[in-house]
Amino acid sequence: MATINIANKMTRVPFNVPPVTGRELEYIGEVINRREFSGNGTFTARCQIWLKERLNAVDAILTHSCTAALEMAAILSELEPGDEVIMPSFTFVSTANAVVLRRAVPVFVDIRPDTLNIDETRIEAAITPRTKAICVVHYAGVCAEMDTIRQIAAKHKLILIEDAAQALLSTYRGTPAGHLGDLACFSFHETKNVTTGEGGALAINNPRFSERAYIIWEKGTNRRAHKLGAVEKYSWVDYGSSFLPSEFMAAILLAQLEQIERITEERRAIWRRYHNGFADLEAAEIVQRPSVPAHCTHNGHLYYLLLRNQKERDRLIQSLGVEEIGAPFHYVPLHSSLAGLRYARTHGDLSVTDNASAGLIRLPLHAGMAASAADRVIDSIHAILKR
Ligand SMILES: *Cc1c(COP(=O)(O)O)cnc(C)c1O
């Protein structure tokens, strides 16, 4: 009973609160006034230009989710049944699903213990004659080791896809995440730094994918060529789907992109506060803090701690829950999930993945979060781990 009374006196610290920048309603009003509701309109174009310039991409195409962008990347990669795509198991299901939907096979390799990104030293041994692509995930907005991975992809003529869902505005040796592979997929889901609720984008850095990408995007039609005046009537020219978001989503996204610098900086400030706040626990070898290589900048997407084992981690999540602090785990590894066992295969030992999954806890982090809320999380974790 005592703990419940204490919790009641404290303000809840939610894991995530989506940002609102103030112009969302104004832009939605413009969509309504213009009677331009469906996709590929004015706001979509403005968001696409923003992304293209920011990422220095050949093209950037808005989608209704990162899942959709990953599916587009899988179609563009011309995966045939039985083809293989090398990826980490420590990721969200969509990275693998996109491949499985083409009847191709995700091949999971282990991650690095420091960044929890794919272990670049394990990729080459997993390559077979069926390997078509490598899909990296920039976990927590920290880029994978792209110099090595790009060399491997070039040497073996593999398509390189970035699942950059968490990495908008992160950089690797000064290059933006999303400009490091042939194709890159972003998410604007509610849990990401900027959001339209559900939303995403595909960035194209290799021009050979551009023309077909627009066709796949608009149901396999050459509607874009028609819009640009190149063909008189548009028609069905390839297979595709409806991967477009409506103009309402694009309107909200533009309002958010306009303030992405502020949003990112606010997140990074909380991230740094946590990082300083947990230095002592890392020194005492009670937790491991995130590690950002010197050649990477991160976007404050996520702050996590790695506990020594699942028991300690689960106890911490539960105790924080009692204090109304939202702190979830991250990823049941795909290689041990039901669908992963059925549709994918692993290459080598995945013990780093298993350990990260067992020990990881994500802490509340969002734009507009008060420093005092972060301090409360830091103090609570210290108190709980001392018990
Ligand atoms: C959020 C996320 C996705 C899925 O994004 P949606 O926009 O919800 O489809 C895919 N991959 C990773 C790594 C993610 O974090």
Going from the Cα of 98 to the center of ligand 1, the distance in angstroms, rounded, reads 11
Q: Where are the alpha helices (DSSP H) in 17-121?
A: 24-34, 42-55, 66-76, 93-100
Using the predicted structure, report yes or no on whether residue 8 has a pLDDT greater than 80. no
Dist. CA 226 → ligand 1 center (Å): 32
Q: Is 31 in the pocket of ligand 1 (CB under 6 A)?
A: no
Catalytically active residues, by annotation = 192
Please report the atom of ligand 1 found closest to the CA of residue 94.
Answer: 10
Ligand 1 geometric centre to CA of 284 (Å): 34
Ligand 1 near 63 CB (within 6 A): no
List the residue whose alpha carbon is closest to atom 2 of ligand 1.
165
189: Cβ below 6 Å to ligand 1?
yes
Cα(64) to centroid(ligand 1), Å: 11
User: Has residue 162 got a pLDDT over 60?
Assistant: yes
Please state, for a pLDDT cut of 90, what percent of the chain lies above it.
Answer: 95
Mutate to test the pocket of ligand 1, among 92, 137, 192 (most ligand atoms within 8 A of CB): 92
| Ligand 1: nearest atom to the Cα of 199 | 7
Which numbered atom of ligand 1 lies nearest the CA of 70?
Answer: 10
Neighbour tally for 103: CB within 10 Å: 12
- For the domain 261-386, what is the CATH code? 3.90.1150.10
Answer whether residue 87 shows pLDDT above 90.
Answer: yes
pLDDT at 387: 84
Dist CA 138 CA 169 (whole Å): 12
Instruction: Tell me what the pLDDT averaged over the chain comes to.
Output: 96
CATH number of 24-257: 3.40.640.10
Give the pLDDT confidence score for residue 90 in this predicted structure: 98
Q: Is 118 in the pocket of ligand 1 (CB under 6 A)?
A: no
Distance separating alpha carbons of residues 250 and 33, to the nearest angstrom = 15
C-beta of 67 in contact with ligand 1 (< 6 A): yes
Ligand 1 atom showing the smallest separation from residue 67 Cα: 9
Find the 6 Cα to ligand 1 centroid distance in Å: 36
The span from the CA of 138 to the CA of 136, in Å, is 7
**Ligand 1 contact, 299 CB (< 6 A):** no
CA dihedral 73, 79, 81, 83 (to 10 degrees): -110
Q: Is 166 in the pocket of ligand 1 (CB under 6 A)?
A: yes
Average of per-residue pLDDT across 332-344: 97
Whether the pLDDT of residue 189 is over 90: the answer is yes
The per-residue pLDDT for range 27-52, each reduced to its tens digit, is: 999 999 999 999 999 999 999 999 99
Q: Which atom of ligand 1 is nearest to the CA of 139?
A: 13
Please write the tens of the pLDDT for every residue from 214-252.
999 999 999 999 988 989 999 999 999 999 999 999 999
Query: How many other CB atoms are found less than 10 A from the CB of residue 295?
Result: 13
**Do 24-257 and 261-386 share a fold?**
no
Question: What residue ranges do the domains of the chain occupy?
Answer: 24-257, 261-386
Confidence label for 4 from pLDDT (cuts 50, 70 and 90) = very low
Strand partners for 189: 197
pLDDT at 290 over 90: yes
Ligand 1 lined by 200 (C-beta under 6 Å): yes
As a whole number of angstroms, the longest Cα–Cα distance in the chain is 74
Exposed (0-12), middle (13-18) or buried (19+): which is 41, by Cβ within 10 Å? middle
pLDDT above 50 (res 5)? no
**Low-confidence winner among 194-198, 228-232, 337-341, 358-362 (lowest mean pLDDT):** 228-232
> Could you report the per-residue pLDDT of 351-387, keeping only the tens digit for each?
999 999 999 999 999 999 999 999 999 999 999 999 8
Three-point CA angle 63, 202, 65, nearest 5°: 35
